[in-house]
Amino acid sequence: MSEEHQMTRREYREQQAHRIQQPLQHSDSQDQSNLDDRPLIQKDSTNQESPYLSREESLAAQQATITEEKTNRLRKKLNHIMIGLVIAIILVYLVLFFVG
């Protein structure tokens, strides 16, 4: 084994718990009377500049993509139907012209 100290899981968890407790202790020292005045969710400029989308935004984007795909498929189907109808009308006129 190497000479470096390797942490056990317990030591690592204690270290992580200590790191988590430090910011909490710092925030506890702040004024507690303003807790009710602050909003539950704060949106700041760093959140808006994030390359990741929130759940609502990604769901809306996904629904928009699905709607767009369905519209394109329906558009293609309607184009094929219209072409078929035009060909059918031309065939009917040809039959009527040559038979009658």
- The pLDDT tens digits for 42-60 are 555 554 556 787 888 889 8
Instruction: Name the average pLDDT for the chain.
Output: 79
Cβ atoms of 15 and 7 within 8 Å: the answer is yes
Say what the pLDDT of residue 53 is.
Answer: 78
Say what the pLDDT of residue 91 is.
Answer: 96
Domain ranges of the chain: 55-99
Please state, in angstroms and rounded to a whole number, the distance separating the CA atoms of residues 29 and 22.
11
Q: What separation in angstroms does the CA of 73 have from each of 68, 78, 82?
A: 9, 9, 14
Q: With a threshold of 0.85, does the pTM exceed it?
A: no
Tokens found for residue 65:
């993509």
